Amino acid sequence: MNWRDTFRTATDAVRSHRLRSVLTMLGILIGISAVVLTVGLGQGAKAKVQDQINELGTNVLVVSPGSTTSSTGSRGGFGSASTLTMQDAAAIATKRAAPDVTAVAPVSTTSVSLLYSSTNWTTTLTGTTPAWKTVRSRGLTEGRFINAADEQRAAAVVVLGPDTVTQLFGQVDPIGRNVVYNGVQLQVIGVLAPLSSNEATSNNDLAIVPIATYQQKLIGGSTRNAVSSIYVKATSAGTLSGAYQETDALLLNRHQITTATSADFNIATQQSILSAATSVDNTLTVMLAGIAIIALLVGGIGVMNIMLVSVTERIREIGLRKALGARPRLIRRQFLVEASILGLAGGILGVALGVLGAVLLPQFSDSRVIISVPASIGAIVMAVGIGVIFGVYPASRAARLAPIDALRSE
């Protein structure tokens, strides 16, 4: 009996016991697709965070306002204070105080509604300096970025993100046209190049104005000098920690804080943002993996159950085959191939369903799913393993019985 005969015998048995085969495959299928999808979701979330952090630019530090300590001693949360000022940004930008810093961009942001002819679009209005383009490593597809002259005279000009342009202008060339915010006409002077992100990102949907314009003409208020955050770009990856220390020391000094722990600002590196986000993600991944493993376990128990019942049912068949001259090895092999076919078919269908889910899910929610090849292969191997253990083990035990004992079993 060669492998082809074994294979045909096994496929015959699989086809003849249709319901049993379908149920076995279903158990495997559900387990595998759950594994593929949940692992994919976890990896997708991780990749998304990674993308967002990369969109900050390279070798960038983000300084944000820290907590304030009120006179009563109660501390506000991070970001509750507006302790960072334009002067802080200017100080960090001085070569002497911070030699490892190449560019500094203070940023103030507010969510606003812009109007072009009759189209309204809500976007992030960002007031910043010309250095922003360098710090964030962004390019332009059209026009020019804001410059020092715009900054000086608080010019009513705006640079738009590519998504913002699409929303407001459609096919119309925006350069030279005016958008209106709160009655103020802003002339579009440039369009940012899109970041190659997989999803819509806020980094492709924004409106940049000179920070002077932002503070004097558009947003105003009592804290005119305050900024939402300061982006600091180090000269290279090697000088990033130097830049960190210089910025830290400078700001502590400027804010007259003697103990580092009571700092009223917070400096984040891309690495620290990443590790904070990843730790949250890892928890999520572990949780998802737990769910997947439970699904696989439930599927596996189903498969195990069906296999055990099926082999018990077929001990008479095993006895007959032995009586007709099948060596025990061939019987084991037949059940091995049978279990592998079921496991493999269920596994492949499960991965296919998982991939289908990975394609469909992002259409309905903003989650990204990345199919992990090792996880998929691992899941299939596990499925085949379950089938083999619970199909082949009882079969090979039955194959050791005297044919007549096997034939007489109920």
Partner 1 sequence: MALSPEPDPGPPAVIELIDVKKTYRSGTLEVEALHRVSMRIDENEFVAITGPSGSGKSTLMHILGCLDVPTEGTYLLSGHDVSAFDEEQLADVRNLFIGFVFQQFNLLAYMSAWRNVELPLIYHGVHPAERRERAFAALEKVDLGDRAHHKPGELSGGQQQRVALARALVTEPAMILADEPTGNLDSASTADILDLFHELNEEGRTIVLITHERDIAARAQRVIQVEDGNLVPAGVELLATGVRP
Nearer to partner 1, 6 or 33 (CB): 6
Q: Which residues pair with 4 in a beta bridge?
A: none
For 237, counting Cβ atoms within 10 Å of its Cβ (0-12 exposed, 13-18 middle, 19+ buried), the class is exposed
| In the complex, minimum distance from the CB of residue 316 to partner 1, in angstroms, rounded to a whole number | 8
Instruction: Specify the stretch interacting with partner 1 by CB under 8 A; choose among 4-12, 261-269, 346-354, 380-388.
Output: 4-12
The binding track of 262-301 with respect to partner 1, each residue x by CB under 8 A or -, is: ----------------------------------------
322 binds partner 1 (CB under 8 A): yes
Instruction: Specify the stretch interacting with partner 1 by CB under 8 A; choose among 12-20, 162-170, 270-278, 359-367.
Output: 12-20
| In the complex, minimum distance from the CB of residue 310 to partner 1, in angstroms, rounded to a whole number | 12
Instruction: Specify the stretch interacting with partner 1 by CB under 8 A; choose among 198-206, 224-232, 327-335, 376-384.
Output: 327-335
| In the complex, minimum distance from the CB of residue 43 to partner 1, in angstroms, rounded to a whole number | 44
Q: Cβ contacts of residue 18 below 8 Å, gap of 6+? A: none
Q: Are 44 and 368 in contact (CB under 8 A)?
A: yes
Out of 97, 251, 404, 409, point to the residue binding partner 1 (CB under 8 A). Answer: 404
Fill in the amino acid letter for 77: G
109, HSE (Cβ side, Cα atoms, 13 Å): 17
Nearer to partner 1, 160 or 315 (CB): 315
312 binds partner 1 (CB under 8 A): no
111 binds partner 1 (CB under 8 A): no
**What SS3 state is found at 97?**
coil
CA distance readout (Å), 291 to 34, 237, 244, 295, 297: 8, 40, 41, 6, 10
For 17, counting Cβ atoms within 10 Å of its Cβ (0-12 exposed, 13-18 middle, 19+ buried), the class is middle
Structure token digits, residue 184:
């103020």
Out of 178, 235, 316, 378, point to the residue binding partner 1 (CB under 8 A). Answer: 316
Out of 79, 242, 328, 378, point to the residue binding partner 1 (CB under 8 A). Answer: 328
| In the complex, minimum distance from the CB of residue 304 to partner 1, in angstroms, rounded to a whole number | 23
Q: Cβ contacts of residue 397 below 8 Å, gap of 6+? A: none
Q: Cβ contacts of residue 34 below 8 Å, gap of 6+? A: 291, 292, 295, 296, 299, 354
CA distance readout (Å), 190 to 118, 138, 140, 146, 147: 21, 12, 7, 8, 11
386 binds partner 1 (CB under 8 A): no
131 binds partner 1 (CB under 8 A): no
| In the complex, minimum distance from the CB of residue 399 to partner 1, in angstroms, rounded to a whole number | 9
Strands annotated E in 325-392: none
5 binds partner 1 (CB under 8 A): yes
108 binds partner 1 (CB under 8 A): no
| In the complex, minimum distance from the CB of residue 299 to partner 1, in angstroms, rounded to a whole number | 26
C-alpha span between 101 and 115 (Å, rounded): 38
Nearer to partner 1, 212 or 326 (CB): 326
Q: Cβ contacts of residue 306 below 8 Å, gap of 6+? A: 20, 23, 24, 27
Q: Are 108 and 126 in contact (CB under 8 A)?
A: yes
407 binds partner 1 (CB under 8 A): yes
Nearer to partner 1, 18 or 95 (CB): 18
Out of 75, 153, 224, 327, point to the residue binding partner 1 (CB under 8 A). Answer: 327
325 binds partner 1 (CB under 8 A): yes
148 binds partner 1 (CB under 8 A): no
12 binds partner 1 (CB under 8 A): yes
Using CB under 8 A, list all residues that contact partner 1.
1-2, 5, 9, 12-13, 16-17, 316-317, 320-330, 400, 402-405, 407
